[in-house]
Amino acid sequence: MEVQSLDNREGVVDSVVEERLLSRMRKRTEELAQRSEQRRNQQVNRNTELETADAFLTSFHEMKVKLDQDILKSDDLDTGDKDAMIEYFNKMVRDHSLIQQYINESSMFLASFQMKRSQEILAELEAEIQRKMEVLQPKKRFGFGTKASKPKPKAKDSVPSKSDTTDSATRIEMKYSALDELIAKRFFGFKDKSNETLVMAAEEISNRQLNLQNLSHCNVQVLGNPDTIQAAALDNCTILIGPTSRSAFIKNCTSCRFVLACQQVRIHDTRDTQFYIHVTGAAIIESCGNVGFAPYNLEYPLLQEHYNYSGLDIDTNNWDKVDDFKWITKNEKSPNMYLIEEKERKDNWLSGAV
């Protein structure tokens, strides 16, 4: 009996050990399967990112070549056909804006050098369009180039007609005033301002790109629904913007406060600036320092209506999930950014505004 009991105990022990071994094996198998799935997902993500970047480069090249060709063809324009010439340049300006928009929307998966080179190429195209416009404009001069002949005596009672007082050079200048206006309209927004409150109405900005450039100590209020945002070289400014349908690209800003909502935002070369954002996609910083983030908290009467126009998901906000492209240590927090503590957040942005 004692031997039999011992045998039984040994059998129980063996069964327990076997179960433990099987449990460990199952756990190990699950861990390996999990890791394998993670590796597959990572590879898929890398492949998708590469494929997306490749698709961008292909499309960007095609758009650039097309605009290059249009710029060259502008040499053949009939300068006597004012309306056709203005429409031709207007189309090039629109195409240039579309390329900028495409870059903005692709910025989330582009490498830093790709983004930089794309912007350089776009700037070169802009300069070339500007040069062509200026070449086709007549010189702003009055009078004729020939020597003046001795004037004929006029009758005492004669009154010069309107046509007599407007020389041909003036008429040419008037004829091309629309082209001057087109050049001015290439930039829509505010630039080269200091110590001002700059306000744009909702109907002005609806579905348009908002440009902010070279502003100092300004308060900008755009309570509407822009399509995209471009901001560069701002210093000590407060920027209040309604829900934006697509992306925002911000660079070279110092000591500013941005309050904006959009699909995605990319911030370059910016320091000592705070962002109160609603972002449904990705938020990325690069070459930045001491930039803070908090949730979007702008309030004004038509906010909900502008949210509806923008198509943004009001319930999805990744304001606290910001990636720093210059910080490669994924397990450590980037020293270049911080989350603004709730007690230190500003609100009532429009309090006292006119």
> In angstroms, rounded to a whole number, what is the distance separating the alpha carbons of residues 339 and 292?
5
Give the confidence band of 87 by pLDDT, cuts at 50, 70, 90: confident
Exposure pattern of 43-62 as b/e (b: 16+ CB <10 Å)? eeeeeeeeeeeeebeeebee
Q: pLDDT (tens digit, 9 = 90+) per residue, 198-246?
A: 999 999 998 888 999 999 999 999 999 999 899 999 999 999 999 999 8
Provide mean pLDDT across the span 138-150: 40
Residue 90: the pLDDT is 84
Provide mean pLDDT across the span 325-343: 87
Instruction: Indicate yes or no: pTM above 0.75.
Output: no
Domain extents in the chain: 55-139+176-186, 190-344
Give the confidence band of 164 by pLDDT, cuts at 50, 70, 90: very low
Q: Is there a shared CATH topology between the 55-139+176-186 domain and the 190-344 domain?
A: no
Q: 207: Cβ–Cβ under 8 A, 6 or more apart, which residues? A: 225, 226, 227, 245
Q: If you classify domain 190-344 with CATH, what class do you get?
A: mainly beta
- Describe the strand order of the beta sheet including 337-339 as a list of residue ranges: 197-200, 219-222, 238-243, 257-262, 271-279, 289-295, 337-339
Q: 276: Cβ–Cβ under 8 A, 6 or more apart, which residues? A: 257, 258, 259, 260, 293, 294, 295, 296, 297, 298, 319, 345, 346
Among 175-184, 205-214, 286-295, the range with the most confident prediction by mean pLDDT is: 286-295
Pair of tokens at residue 78: 């009939």
The mean of the pLDDT values for the chain is 77
Residue 350: the pLDDT is 92
Pair of tokens at residue 124: 């070169």
Question: CATH assignment of 55-139+176-186, given 3.30.360.10, 2.70.98.90, 1.20.58.1250, 1.10.1740.10?
Answer: 1.20.58.1250
Do residues 252 and 231 lie in contact, with contact meaning Cβ atoms separated by under 8 Å? no
Provide mean pLDDT across the span 14-43: 54
> In angstroms, rounded to a whole number, what is the distance separating the alpha carbons of residues 273 and 108?
21
For the ranges 11-25, 103-117, 123-137, 236-250, the lowest mean pLDDT is seen at 11-25
